[in-house]
Amino acid sequence: MSEAEIRQEYSILDRSKKNPQAFGELYEKYFDRIFNFIYRQTDDEELTADLCSQTFLIALKNVDRYQFRGVPFSAWLYKIASNEVNKHYRKQKHTKVFSIEEVRIRELIEQANEEYDEEIIHRLMNFLKELPTEMLQVLELRFFEDKDFKEIAFILEITESGAKMRTYRALDRLRKSFNLRIKYDGKE
């Protein structure tokens, strides 16, 4: 995100403190991304809509308390969304779901410049479902939400080195299981 875009968002946030309708611009900009982020963790459209609405309501109610922490405003929305999903699963005492579209798996394999067939995609989808939640979270944020390590750390409330380590470990498992050359932080 460019410096001009960040400044524009802060201008909207400042206006939102006095006029909640101004927040609508940020809602429109980020709704689809936050909805898809939550949907991959619930695989339930109705629940996703509820949690997404709750995420934006919390953000709007707390916009006056928002402080810049070196990450884009969207990271704050992802953090709220992640917390809402986790709160839902704790309250319901259900196991967290991870649903990923086949197209995202294809993108991940293409990024590794690998040939693939339907069997590999099916195996990879099953493999991802078996990964521990903390590894799935970093892979999702890094590769499907295109977040940098600083944003991942902020969203998951871990250190930046912790985000890098989780990503490295998850990719290492993928490499060993599928012999993929997926790049970690721009390097193989």
Per-residue pLDDT of the chain (188 residues; tens, 9 = 90+): 677 777 788 888 888 888 889 899 999 999 999 999 999 888 889 999 999 999 999 999 999 888 877 788 899 999 999 999 989 988 877 666 666 665 566 666 666 555 666 777 777 777 777 778 788 888 888 888 889 999 999 999 999 999 999 998 988 887 777 665 555 554 44
Q: What is the SS3 string spanning the chain? A: CCHHHHHHHHHHHHHHHHCHHHHHHHHHHHHHHHHHHHHHHHCCHHHHHHHHHHHHHHHHHCHHHCCCCCCCHHHHHHHHHHHHHHHHHHHHCCCCCCCCCHHHHHHHHHHCCCCCCHHHHHHHHHHHHHCCHHHHHHHHHHHHCCCCHHHHHHHHCCCHHHHHHHHHHHHHHHHHHHCCCCCECCEC
Residues 142 and 152: their CA atoms lie apart, in Å, by 7
Structure confidence at residue 78 (pLDDT): 95
Report all structural domains of the chain as residue ranges with CATH numbers, in order of start: 3-92 (1.10.1740.10), 102-178 (1.20.140.160)
Structure confidence at residue 104 (pLDDT): 62
Structure confidence at residue 187 (pLDDT): 43
Structure confidence at residue 106 (pLDDT): 64
Terminal CA-CA length for the chain? 24
Residue written as token pair 């990450």? 71
Structure confidence at residue 97 (pLDDT): 62
Structure confidence at residue 62 (pLDDT): 93
